[in-house]
Each structure stands twice: as C-alpha cells, then as structure tokens.
Structure 1
C-alpha cells in the first residue's frame, strides 16, 4: 500500500520547486526594443541583433516590436503599453524623439531602464547610443555628392521625418559642408519620406519636375535612396545625377548596378540592436559604461562617452561602412 504521507510530502516539494522555477522565470529581466516601423528591412536586420543578444545571454529575455507604419503616435502607444506591463528595460529608436519624452519619463519613474538609439537630444534616457558623430556623417555624404557633381549645381536632401533627429542632423551636416562650395545650391531641403520608398519616389519625381537640372540627392531614411533611385532610373538620368544616402546593400543593389544610386553608407542594424540590448543589460545590472570601453561589437570597440541632454550619457562609436557598386555584394543584408 503506498505511503500517502510520503507522496504528499513529495507533491509539496515538487510544487515548491515548480513555484520557485516560475518565480525565477518571472524575475528574468525583460528588454524590449521598440523600433520606428515593423517590416522595413533595416529593422528586420536589427531584430537579428536583438535576438542574438538574448541567445547569447540566457539570463535576460529580449524582444523587438514596432508600429505597422512609421508613426510617432503609434510608437508612443506601444511604449505606454510596455510601461503598464513594467518591463525591465526599453531600448527605443524614436520616430520623433521629442514626442516620447513624456512616456519615457513615466517609464523611468516606474523603475524601467531606458536606452535610446539615434536620439542624442533626449533627456529621459539613461544611455543614448550613436553609431558615429551625426553631423560628420552627413558631411561625408555631402562631400561625396560634391565630388560627384563637380562642386557645382543644385542638390537636395531627404529625411524620414523632421522629427527624426539623426536624419535632420545628417541633412544639416550636409548643408554645412556644402557651404565650402559657393557654386552648389541647396533646393527643397529636408523632404519628408516618412520611411516610405513610394513617398521618396514621388518626392523625387516632384523635385525632378521642378528642378530638371538638379544634380545631387542626399537620402536620410534607410529607404530614401530606393525611391530616389527609382525616379532617377525612370527619368534616364543615371549619368546626370549623384545620389548618396543611408541604405542597405540588398535593398539598393539594383540601383547601384544601374548607376541610379552612386553610393550608400550604413551601420549594421544587427550590431546596433545587439549593442543596445547589451547596454540595457549593463544598466539593469548597475554596471558602469566608461569612455574607451570595448562593447564587443564591430564599430563599438572603443566608444566615446559624453554627457547627455538630461542626466544620462551618450555613447558614440565609429561604425559606418561605405558601399558602392564595386563592393556592395560583400554584405549579406
């Protein structure tokens, strides 16, 4: 006959173990990365880095979400939901940095650690991570455009939105660089594409109609050069225009081949996703992020740390990559 007292004792013991395991699972820190838009290849690539950090570090749970379209209000609502759930940390790439200050302040008040990317003016963040100095990056684009167009003629700039701080900084860096060349004329600056290749295409067509002699285009959103390249290609102006901007090799390859886009630069979104989650994990653990530190990710081996707009810090890497027709095939994304 079974000893029911022993069975009961074992049941209580197993129940205690299961309860402890469940509690540990619940206590596992959660880092949620919130991107500008879901479905864009840039952020699909970023999700690989988010997942990779979670796979490499089983003491933390990582995930990525974003709105179905590039919309600051939708992004804010997603973050509000995360604040209500009281996740451990939020790593966000803001569509419009200023519009998120309030909700990120509430997150901090609830003890949620906030890390940002492409938002060096934000006050309610503990760490903002930048792949490089943004105005210098914009100046690099413009210098390539200037050389291509013989340092004379009309040129224009695109941004995902006027609220996308880094895009505006790149456009401003380009405009500042162009002042070195008095024969270059900036027209219709900071065209908003809202991270939509079709909008970038329509804007580029509009500019080509208004300024048929335009020679230079500087793209700010990761998909601007796709829309611009399409408009240039359709107009048969590959040999008369100079198109440079941020982009991904696979997205832009056909336009690089045709000459409708002359060159792109980028930082690997996978590495950015990984380093955002690493920094968020460090903040959760109370670890210090120091000037000159190696964060173990390409382009972030010797970061610069400086004071942020609020009480946090800005971490700056040197992670840019320049690509043209000759070498874009080396990159599998």
Structure 2
C-alpha cells in the first residue's frame, strides 16, 4: 500500500511537470504594464493585446504609468507596483539605465520583469520582447526613405527622447546603412528630438524645415513624432515635396497617406507586441522559462516562441503601409 501511494505521488508529480512543460500557466497571475506614456495611442493598442492574453490565461492585469515620457516619472510607479506585490512588471523604458536599480530590486523580491518596445540594460530584466530585430528596423527605414527621394538629398531624423534605448539602437543602424555606396548622394544633416510629445515634435519638424530648406526627407521612428511631423507637412508648402516615413500606426497615419503627405511608413502590430509580452511574463512567473537563450514557451495565437541571445524574444518583421493596403488595418 505504501509503495502504491509513493507510485501515485510520483505519477502525479510527473504529470504536473508534463502539464507545465506543455504550456500550463498558473491562474491568477498579477501583471502590471508600465508604458512610457499611458496617453499614447501606440501603448493603448499594445495594452489591448496585453489584456487579451491575460484574459486567455486567467490572469489579473492592469496598466499604470505617466503621461510624460520621462524615466523619473516611471520610477515612482515601479515602487508602487512593488508595494502592491505584483508578480510581473511589463515595462517600456524611457531610459536604458535609469530604471535598472529599481527593476533589479523588483527581481530580488521575486518579481519577474519583462521589457517590451524599449529595453533596459539586460541585468535589469528577465526578458525583452522586441518588436523586430534592430538591424531590420534601422535598415528598412533608410531603404524606404531612399526609394521615396530617389537616393539623393539631405535627410533628417526626428526621434523620441535622447535616451530612448530602441530609438538610439535604430539610429545607429541607420547611420551605418547610410555609409553604403547606394546612399552616397544622401546626407544626414540633423537628428532632432521631439521627446515623444506631440507639440514638441510638431515644433521640431517645423524647425528642421526652417534650418534646412533643401531637406528632401525625414525618418521619424516614433508614432508620436511621425504623426506630428505629418500634421505639420500636410498644411505646409512642403507637402508632397518633403518625404516623411518612419514608424506609425495605420489609424494615426491614414489621412496623411490618403491626402498625399506620406507615401508609406512601417510598423509591427503593437497589439501583438503587448500580447506576446503578457505571455512571456506569465511563462516566467509559472517557471516555464528563466530568460536563458534557447528556452521556448507558448504564446497563444502567436505560437511557440524561442528566447534568443541576451534574453530577447522577437515579435516579427515590419509591415509597410501605403495607399494600397492601409485600409486593411485598424490599430
């Protein structure tokens, strides 16, 4: 009888481990999203996907965050979430290094930390869910603009904050891409920063045109920046003459594509980004993964995902939006 009980216990333990390995996620996991800005349509869409995933695995989720894109503004929210004993924090960092001490403290207290959209230094999180490979994003942005301006002329970049991890990584790749012979007649004259603020981005775009009247094109790899820049161009003498591309959402950019201000721009699906980040957080809390390279986890409708080098999980390739396809998307 004793041996029988031992056998049953071992079998139960084995079955439990098997269930976990097959994708079992603990119920009731608390997950808090902390975006750069809660009032940014891009992050609202990402949170929509995050919520959908949390609902699928019976978790408890919420989103909190500042209305301005400053790292110091995010710190107080991290401290509050720690006091609330959240199981996981999913954060898009406004600064690569400023949040690290606070996120390290969170991990020391057993909280799983996932970054999405914009990373921190690797020792400040367990996993980074990247929208796409930095190399792909940076090079594709240059290729799109180069084609629009005939591979010739002065160009500028309208970025978010000077310390934004993702923006700086993409800009570095853009600068490298521009060194290739194909772009010998293109010149990067300015990198401006709109701080992911609509009005400042609008003013920066206006300033670029005043300072560089021969400007042929602008890359704005930020959803706030590209829409503000498009709004300025749409009512200016430069409409249709100065090309604008970058990263934006179809809903933000539809009118500018249709009225000829913008020929084409790119993005991934931010809803899927939030969805994948939620599943990564749940897999960490459930003990399915730790963030080591090569580990795999199931992410609902997005299928099985593999963790790459430095704990990075990549969502997927960019989609280019133009007049031919923009009405097929709504986010």
Q: What is the aligned counterpart of 2:184 among 174, 178, 182?
A: 182
The answer (yes or no) to whether the contact 1:195–1:224 under 8 Å persists in 2 is yes
Shift of 1:252: 0.8
Shift of 1:156: 0.6
Q: Once the two structures are superposed, what CA deviation does each residue of 1:175-194 show, in whole Å capped at 9, x if it has no partner?
A: 211222121110111x1111
Partner of 2:314: 316
Partner of 1:161: 161
The answer (yes or no) to whether the contact 1:120–1:314 under 8 Å persists in 2 is no
**2:146 maps to 1:146:** yes
SS in 1 for 2:128: strand
The answer (yes or no) to whether the contact 2:100–2:120 under 8 Å persists in 1 is no
Shift of 1:204: 0.8
Unaligned runs of 5+ in 2: 1-26
Partner of 1:130: 130
SS in 2 for 1:161: coil
Unaligned runs of 5+ in 1: 1-26
Partner of 1:326: 324
> Which of the two has higher C-alpha Rg?
1
The answer (yes or no) to whether the contact 1:271–1:297 under 8 Å persists in 2 is no
| 1:195-274 equivalent positions in 2, closer than 5 A | 195-274=196-275
Shift of 1:153: 0.7
TM-score, structure 1 normalization: 0.85
Shift in alpha-carbon separation, 1:138–1:301, aligned structure 2, 3 A? farther
Shift of 1:294: 6.9
The answer (yes or no) to whether the contact 2:280–2:299 under 8 Å persists in 1 is no
State how far apart, in whole Å, the 2-side matches of 1:292 and 1:100 are.
26
State how far apart, in whole Å, the 2-side matches of 1:32 and 1:97 are.
19
State how far apart, in whole Å, the 2-side matches of 1:319 and 1:142 are.
16
SS in 2 for 1:188: strand
| 1:9-48 equivalent positions in 2, closer than 5 A | 28-48=28-48
**2:95 maps to 1:119:** no
TM-score, structure 2 normalization: 0.85
RCO greater where, 1 or 2, for CA within 8 Å and sep 6 or more?
A: 2
SS in 2 for 1:99: coil
The answer (yes or no) to whether the contact 2:100–2:121 under 8 Å persists in 1 is no
Shift of 1:140: 0.2
The answer (yes or no) to whether the contact 2:273–2:315 under 8 Å persists in 1 is no
SS in 2 for 1:97: coil
The answer (yes or no) to whether the contact 2:162–2:195 under 8 Å persists in 1 is no
The answer (yes or no) to whether the contact 1:305–1:315 under 8 Å persists in 2 is yes
Tell me the C-alpha RMSD between the 2 structures.
Answer: 1.9
